[in-house]
Each structure stands twice: as structure tokens, then as C-alpha cells.
Amino acid sequence: MGDVELIGHELIESCLECGALTAGEVTETIDGDRLAWAVSTRCSGCGRAAEVDGWGEMPGIVREALIARVGLVRLQADPAASGRLRVRLLAAFRKGGATISEAAGAYTALTGLGITGTPSEMKLLADRLTAAGATVLLTPR
């Protein structure tokens, strides 16, 4: 992805073939136990279509475009019910790549105001936490 501008929820850049503007739309999904994302673009001039995709964390402007399109959701767990599961929930955060400090902070957020992210990010995390025994709630932010 070259010089890209975010307009609304679309990523706008110049076509490599003809120089006209392309509009890209971002999607994100869960594949197994990881996130997959893609940017699909089509040129307004020559009609050329292209797709850039990846796994895990996406580039900042790509994530901004996704959030502009799908919004954010909040993931929460009841503090009382989660207390007895603390060690298992911390292990679930660690399995997802969090440091010990990050896992502790995520547990505090989860049982407090909640953790926010894209629908796919929070669904994947909800699945991991549910597998560890937690009861979680996903709500639009």
C-alpha cells in the first residue's frame, strides 16, 4: 500500500496501472484461532482490482478504516463471577500474546469498564475467555 488517504471508511490511493483513484474496503474475520484481514480495492479508471491481506495486527490506517466501517464493541465480564477464574483468564490473555503486566491490565479492564475493539477482535477474545470458563458480554460501543 502506497500513499493512502482515509476518506469515510474507504482507503483512497492512486492506481498503479493508470493513476486514477482506487477505493479500498477493509474486512476482518476470524480464521481458526487468529485474525485475518483484507483490503479489497477497485480502480475508478481502469477497473483493476487488487487485494492485500494479512494475519493478526493490521496497519494503523487500515484499522482506522475498518473501525469507521464496522465500529467498535465492548467486551465485559462480571467481576464477582470472574474472580475465581482470574488465573485462567490471565493465562488466556497470555496465550494471546500479552505480557504479564498487559494480561493483568486486560483482566482489570475486562472486569471494569470493559475492553474495546473491532467485532472480530472482541469475538476472538470472547471465545478464548469463554473457553477458560468466563461468561462475557459483547455490546456495541
Instruction: Return phi, psi of residue 76, to 5°.
Output: -135, 155
> pTM higher than 0.85, yes or no?
yes
* CATH code of the region 73-140: 3.30.1390
Domain boundaries for CATH 3.30.1390 within the chain: 73-140
The C-alpha atoms of residue 38 and residue 46 are separated, in whole angstroms, by: 21
Percent of the chain as helix, strand, coil, to the nearest 5: 35, 35, 30
CB 115 within 8 A of CB 141: no
Read off the pLDDT band of 56 (50, 70, 90): confident
The C-alpha atoms of residue 11 and residue 97 are separated, in whole angstroms, by: 29
Read off the pLDDT band of 36 (50, 70, 90): very high
Tally of CA atoms within 13 A in the half-sphere of 88 that contains its CB? 13
The C-alpha atoms of residue 74 and residue 89 are separated, in whole angstroms, by: 17
Read off the pLDDT band of 1 (50, 70, 90): low
The C-alpha cell at 19 is 493513476
Opening angle at CA 85, ends 81 and 89, nearest 5: 115
| 2 has a pLDDT exceeding 80 | no
